Amino acid sequence: MVLKAFFPTCCVSVDSGLLVGRWVPEHSSAVVLAVLHFPFIPIQVKQLLAQVRQASQVGVAVLGTWCHCRQEPEESLGRFLEGLGAVFPHEPWLQLCRERGGTFWSCEVTHRQAPAAPSAPGEDQVMLIFYDQRQVLLSQLHPPTVLPDRQAGATPASTGGLAVVFDTVARSEVLFRSDRFDEGPVRLSHWQSEGVEASILVELARRASGPVCLLLASLLSLVSAIGACRKANTVASVLLDVALGLTLLSWLHGRSRIGHLADALVPVADHVAEELQHLLQWLMGAPAGLKMNRALDQVLGRFFLYHIHLWISYIHLMSPFVEHILWHVGLSACLGLTVALSLLSDIIALLTFHIYCFYVYGARLYCLKIHGLSSLWRLFRGKKWNVLRQRVDSCSYDLDQLFIGTLLFTILLFLLPTTALYYLVFTLLRLLVVAVQGLIHLLVDLINSLPLYSLGLRLCRPYRLAGKCCVLDSCPWAGGGEPHLWALQKQGQHRPLCLRPGSRGRHEQVGREDRASQSQRSAGPAASRSWRDSSAGAGSDTGRSRPQAFVLLLWDFLGLGA
Amino acid sequence: MEDERSFSDICGGRLALQRRYYSPSCREFCLSCPRLSLRSLTAVTCTVWLAAYGLFTLCENSMILSAAIFITLLGLLGYLHFVKIDQETLLIIDSLGIQMTSSYASGKESTTFIEMGKVKDIVINEAIYMQKVIYYLCILLKDPVEPHRISQVVPVFQSAKPRLDCLIEVYRSCQEILAHQKATSTSP
């Protein structure tokens, strides 16, 4: 039979040591419960294991060695580990090894005695299965039907192999009481080594708010029925968005606030235009004590003033319709708060359109001036820009070319301060508007990408789960062929554990699918599609702030587009 | 090793069978069902809306039209979430078990795992389905009380319903693994 070694995922990155667990000969499975680190005294280890055996009625023993080589593989360590087999006799003796960076795994099984029955061909196959210890510990498996002719205490021999694994892990709680960080004779690494809850405040809050947690847990189970972590986060954000939007809608439509808003809008636009006119008058005079070129100043100033005058007339033309428009825009808040905010950002852009126009005119003029200046400066020095060769070449100009060129250069140079000042002022105004819009977009992104589902999971983890299945991720051995590496994981909080092959190719560090703590730590983009709904990250769409983002999310959620 | 072939189901729709060969003791078969066709969606929507319009002309109440829109939307969402299966996967691992996964159009996944100790055999059965005679692949489970009896028959690929040629491919691969498993297993 294939030898199955169940290894906890929390021990994948720990240092070398001994494998402590239980060997089930009927199913040819070795369930590793913890890793015991060096240095240790064998007598104390044997004492601890005897205590655990007595307390939990589980036959724990030292099953083999675990070797994690971070740098070059050490020869002496390898021989030392082999020698440990003599100190802790166990049949069969497992030697698991993980090399450099975790891309290569190896597993050797040594049988000390000759097997009693002749082994069938292919018996040397080993299957390494990773399992998430906390989830296996806290989940329940359906008990096998108790047969009538057996006593109530004895475990039926026809129990499935996986039920034995679940049972072993669940009954070995005594072993998990001491940790590698505790001061004791023996240092063990298991699921408790990662820390159950880092913040005592969160634990206390969770204890205090029992019914709230229950309610949240039931809501989360509804959301998680939709899909795995990433989709659930999206769904939770959309739901929050719509809830906030409906609140905003009810606030806006009560007590004719829209009317007040519409009444205030036109005077505000007028006020802004007046301020702009004052600014232009200031620029046309002697701004900050600088002396401008009077003629150019007057031309530019009058041009911009006329522009503002046109804009004001346009606003006054629109004023009867403003209330209707605002009413319909307010109605769009029922699609979500982000939609309303995006529309607000667009309205700001429309209302400050004249500032944008001024910026464009100023920028164009300035750009032309700078180009002209640089070209004439080259002429002044006797050089030319070679378009073919894309470099500056020397050129001999005629006298009249030089004369006119120098004249124009002087004119442009002395007109530069005026243009530069207009450009600077309007760029600053435009930056102000862009900053306001940017803040709104930031708010929208925050609402969209807050990982509410993962946060909720962390706060109120619903534990109890009854299912018959196990999640497995597969990663091939280095060097192809057998044996195969599998990982036992849970897919969702309220769904049965199930088998899932993952990406092929290099062995990646097993993705902790639904570990809410993990997903909180890594709030980056979601994992690739090859892990099929597995995700360690929160929302991925940071750039989506417009209403069309909402439509795309809905499309994705319905699965019609993919 | 992975390969993909296209077959057809009992109604003539196109199915894609993706076979993944992880190792001699582990295979995976993934059947993708045909997508929700625009034609059927339009047909259902038009029927519902025509019926609603007919009711509206009788009752002169505009709420019926809004209700029809809501019903169509909710019905579509419910159909995608509870009924429409996009993909069905069968994963068979020697000495561990067999797993069947159905993934719905809304992203929901439902799985069933059967341990290898409970599996007696995998066979292709014939059945009378409406006016047709179809073939289907099923897993036979052992009875815990009497190991020679069959306690349950679990059909596989129920919503994809492939034809015999596809089933034969899957059947052959599964039998290779089961034969290997029976040769090396110690229990009867």
Q: What digits encode the pLDDT tens for the residues B73-119? A: 999 999 998 999 999 999 998 888 899 999 998 888 888 888 888 89
Q: Is-contact A515 A471, C-beta < 8 A?
A: no
Hey, what are A551's tokens?
A: 């439509």
Q: Following CA atoms A93, A498, B117, A23 in sequence, which dihedral angle do they give, to the nearest 10 degrees?
A: 20
List of chain A residues whose C-beta atoms are within 8 Å of the C-beta of residue B25: 2, 125, 127, 482, 484
Domain boundary among B26, B59, B80: B80
Q: Which two tokens mark A225? A: 């029925």
Domain co-membership, B160 together with B140: yes
B137's enclosing H/E stretch is: strand B132-142
Domain end call among B49, B80, B111: B80
- C-alpha to C-alpha distance for A374 and A1, rounded to whole angstroms: 83
* B19, B40: one domain: no
Taking a C-beta distance cutoff of 8 angstroms, is the pair A453, A229 a contact? yes
- Which residue in B has a C-alpha nearest to residue A480's C-alpha? B23
Residues of A in contact with B26 (CB under 8 A): 474, 484
Chain B touched by A147 (CB under 8 Å)? yes
Where b means 16+ CB within 10 Å and e means fewer, A25-42 reads eebbbbbbbbbbbeebee
Name the packing angle between helices A452-459 and A229-253 (round to 10°).
Answer: 110
Quick one: B91 and B161 in the same domain? yes
User: Cβ contact (<8 Å) for B145 and A147?
Assistant: yes
Q: Is the pLDDT of residue A470 over 50?
A: no
CB-based contact, A436 to chain B, within 8 Å: no
Q: Would you list the DSSP string of A417-484?
A: HHHHHHHHHHHHHHHHHHHHHHHHHHHHHHHHH--HHHHHHHHS-----B-S--EEEEEPPTTSSSS-
Per-residue confidence in pLDDT tens, chain B, 188 aa? 788 999 998 888 899 999 988 888 888 999 999 888 899 999 999 999 999 999 999 988 888 888 888 899 999 999 998 999 999 999 998 888 899 999 998 888 888 888 888 899 999 999 998 898 999 999 999 888 887 888 989 999 999 899 999 999 999 999 999 988 888 775 44
Q: Which two tokens stand for residue B74?
A: 């909710």
Its pTM stands at 0.56
**Number of independent structural domains in chain B:** 2
Q: In this predicted structure, what is the pLDDT of residue A545? A: 34
Q: Is B109 within 8 Å of A147 when comparing Cβ atoms?
A: no
CA of B157 vs chain A CAs: smallest distance (Å): 17
Q: Any bridge partners for residue A384, and if so which?
A: A393
The per-residue pLDDT of chain A, averaged, comes to 72
Distance, in Å, from the CA atom of A510 to the CA atom of A66, rounded to the nearest integer, reads: 18
- Closest chain A residue by Cα to residue B85: A559
The answer on B75 and B43 residing in a single domain is yes
Q: Are residues B75 and B101 in the same domain?
A: no
Specify whether B17 is located in the same domain as B60. Answer: no
Instruction: Check whether residue B87 and residue B6 sit in a common domain.
Output: yes
Q: Do A560 and B108 touch (CB under 8 A)?
A: no
Contacts of B80 in chain A (CB under 8 A): 558-560
A1: pLDDT confidence band, cut at 50, 70 and 90? low
Task: State both tokens at A372.
Answer: 């002209």
Same domain, B65 and B88: no
Largest CA distance in chain B: 75
Q: Do B96 and A495 touch (CB under 8 A)?
A: no
> What are the pLDDT digits (tens) for A310-339?
988 988 898 888 888 888 888 888 888 999
Residues B44 and B10 in one domain: no
**Is the domain of B75 the same as that of B124?**
no
Cα A344 to the chain's mean position, in Å? 28
Domain span including residue B62: 36-80
B28 and B41 share one domain: no
> What is the Cα B135 distance to its own chain's centre?
14
B41 lies in the same domain as B74: yes
ipTM (interface pTM): 0.76
Q: Which residues of A touch B104 (CB under 8 A)?
A: 559
Q: For residue B85, what pLDDT is reported?
A: 93
Interface mutation vs chain A, best among B27, B84, B89, B108, most A CBs within 10 Å = B108
Domain end: B22, B49, B80, which one?
B80
Domain architecture of chain A: domains with CATH: 3-113+122-144+158-189 (3.40.140), 231-459 (no CATH)
Choose among A43, A17, A12: nearest CA to A180.
A17
- Note whether A334 contacts B: Cβ–Cβ < 8 A: no
d(CA A190, CA A180): 9
Contacts of A19 (CB under 8 A, 6+ apart): A30, A32, A35, A36, A62, A63, A64, A65, A66, A94, A96
